[in-house]
A and B are shown apart, each in its own frame.
Chain A
Amino acid sequence: MSTRQQVTHSLRETVRAGESWMLDSRKASYGVAVLRIGFGAILAVQLAVTWPDRHLAWGAGRSFAQGRVDTDDFPAALDALFSGSSPGVLFDLQYLLLLALAVALMLGWRARLVVPLVLVGYVALVRTNPFIGDGGMQLMRIVLVYLLIADTSGRWSIDARRRERRHPGESRARLGWPGTLLHNTAVLLIAFQIFVVYVASAMYKIQGGLWQHGSAIYYVFQLDEFSTWPEVTAWLSGSGTLITVLTYSAVFVQLFFPFLLLRRGTRVVALVAITGMHLGIGLLMGLMYFSLTMIAIDAIFVRDVTYVTVSTRVARWWRERRARRRAGISPPGAASAAEEHRTTVPADA
């Protein structure tokens, strides 16, 4: 083969692989399900926890924020849902409805309808108080827009169970190739969005002297607003080495995240490290909703086969445990052979 033929051949192969990736199967189908479950749970918990404070957060008590709402870029039509000045009872009902929709999102019930409803309700609610907000709220809004075109309830959902019951084995063909194309486009957009978050925040950080000096995390820990566990942060701040390691690893993990995902070995390292970083930030700095939102989105980078393997193992362990409890004794490995037989792994995993 001449060089020219080789180049043409490899180009054609690349295009074919790309086409196949986009059109032949729905990518990250379990990851997107975990993302959907995560978003539903995060939103539901936030709304439930903020229930006693809801009128100050997003109801009539947030009237001090109205000036900013009047000049924001969102369509005024959203006022029809949450205006911040509706009577208390009506606001409470709307709030509970959004909470119910968040639970429906988590369970994957009528997802094609629920995802847009959650998006609109969420944007309308959060918009009423721009003084409450963090990167997690921005990301949830953006990723919910992408989820409009994704197949969010293809796995681990009430929708999937219902379809399986009605048309066993046919669930993958829903909406055919257009559905697959849109789903995979959404996966690409979500992945790109999260890369942008990590790489942009790292690029801003490396411009800063305190990040270069290795002491940035110390300063964050000193602030009133992030002193959720002052005892712990005071202890961490005692060690210069620990502060430097935390500061530098925060920058490096974010900057190199997209590249670490390329190979399986480094992908595991990247996901464990970034999840640890998020949990640390969430716990020590009171930013748990932001952190959980990031973790939920990162879930799309875990391969379907990993989710299937883990869930199969968990299911088996659970059945064995139940069987042992029922029998009142625990015969070693007695249940496992039979259970192994019953577990089915989807063909495309």
Chain B
Amino acid sequence: MEKSPARPVRARVAMVVALAVAGFHMIGTFFYTAPSTPATAEVGGPFTAHMRPYFGQSWRIFAPDPQTIDLRIWVRAAYDSPTGEQTMTDWVNLSEVFNAQVHHAVLPARTWRIPVSLHRYHSGALEDLSDTQQAVAFADHTGAEGREALRDALLGAGASVSTVESYQRAEDALYELGSNAAWVLWPDVAPGAVQMSTSTQGVVPFSERHTTGVQRPAESFVRLGWRAPLESTAAERAGFAEAFGRYVP
């Protein structure tokens, strides 16, 4: 029998320690990423405590089923015309503007999926509101005090402080993107208010893909209320416009 090479004891001890630490982390990675099981609830906790933020991950890629709807975000603005009349712009599909950036691109710029992520983020927060609270979000809250008015109305409709905060965080993200886009889309007017809408549209089902004249299901809109344009600094607006201005056809 071949004799094992002379190895310092400390090398063996270090190896055991390294494998123990790696093993612990592997079990943590397993629990953190695997579909939730009774074992995750019972013993998973201590193994996964260290996973966030550096080892945070999710591998539900197109699963359990891939998304079968397009997620879009839309913006329009209201402004006073030179004659003093309240005028509204047409709706603009921001997702289309961003998506065009990846069309026929092998190595696209990293910005193109922002509207889809923002749609998911906002929809998630909106779903946490009850029907009455959602009605508050669908109503108009314009003017300088609009944000506070929305907050008070949501609290008045029974939403908890943390729910209101997380909803407003999501809505602010959506409206700030919309406001910055509005400055670029309608450079000749000063928007007094902006309105955002999200939409979803299903695709032609697989079984009907060869059917002559088949149409996609109708697009379904979630129309939020009018808000005052979100204040951003000149640098923020310029940073946004520099890239977005090139996207706009």
Contacts and interface: CB of A to CB of B under 8 A. Distances in A.
A286 B105 contact: yes
Contacts of B63: 201, 204-205, 207-208, 211
B57 interface: yes
Contacts of B88: none
A55 interface: yes
B112 A286 contact: yes
Nearest to A48: B107
A32 interface: no
Interface in B86-128: 95-96, 99, 102-114, 116-118, 121
A177 to B, nearest CB: 5
B35 A207 contact: yes
Given A22-B19, A56-B243, A203 B35 contact: yes
Interface string A247-288: 000000000000000000000000000000000001100101
Contacts of A222: 68, 203-204
A189 B25 CA distance: 9
Contacts of B145: none
B139 interface: no
B99 A64 contact: no
A133 B117 CA distance: 9
A210 B66 contact: yes
B4 A16 contact: yes
Interface residues of A, number: 89
Interface residues of B, number: 85
A145 B54 CA distance: 8
Given A60-B236, A145-B55, A216-B62, A181 B11 contact: yes
Interface of B: 4-5, 7-8, 11-12, 14-15, 18-19, 22, 25-26, 29-30, 33-35, 52-72, 95-96, 99, 102-114, 116-118, 121, 169-170, 172-174, 176-177, 180, 203-204, 206, 209-210, 232-233, 235-244, 246
16 contacts: A19-B12, A50-B109, A56-B111, A56-B243, A142-B54, A200-B34, A201-B59, A204-B63, A205-B62, A208-B65, A211-B64, A220-B66, A222-B203, A222-B204, A225-B102, A228-B105
